[in-house]
Amino acid sequence: MNSIVGALRFFFTHTLDRPDLARKLVRTRQVRKIPVVLTMAEVKRLLDATRTLKHQAALSVAYGAGLRVAEVSALKVTDIDSKRMLLRIERGKGGRYRNAMLPEGLLLLLRDWWRAGRQQGILVPDGWLFPGQSAAVPISTRQLYRVVVEAAEAADIDKRVGPHTLRHSFATHLLEDGVDIRVIQALLGHAKLNTTAFYTQVATKTVRSIVSPLDRLALASPSEEAPDG
């Protein structure tokens, strides 16, 4: 709806030179839903339930580096920087470039996939990291979505999950482990900090670690009184 409003405002303001007609076009406020997040145990079950090494490697990239599904699909073999332990994201949201983390365990898995893909004849040095039906095209985001859904069903995970669920889980687990939120913002490629701060609403481990004032009240001695003001 907001995209239609934006198009109409541009049409009236710039094409027709009638900004007065665009004043009554108001964008609707979108209510952001709390994302579904998997526990670490559920993530492991999901990854273990994938049918092929390619699918396991692709979903491991989504979770281990916190990538969007389109970013996973667009990765090329040359985007892996094993010397600096980074993944180069050259086709991020909004056309922005960034570096994503490359955990050691993920690098080992990608090397296993490289050897298997070379034997199958579908991986080439300058080609797609996760080819689709042929080596000439990358795996589609729709296919990755199906892979996640099928793996979740095989792992008996009753939550509604998709590829982005792994990205949400990545950010939430880092936040719960005490990683600075600005570091998480850079890893996710968020333009605004408040987008990353939304994960504080689902970081249950962080919430459980906070001591409630009620618990402090129970531990306080009878002689203690709260200061005025």
Q: Report, as residue numbers or ranges, the catalytic residues.
A: 68, 93, 164, 167, 190, 199
The candidate with the shortest Cα–Cα distance to 73, out of 123, 19, 130, is 130
Rounded to 5°, angle at Cα 177 from 47 and 87: 55
The b/e string for 40-67 (b: 16+ C-beta within 10 A; e otherwise) is: eebbebbbebbeeebbbbbbbbbbbbbb
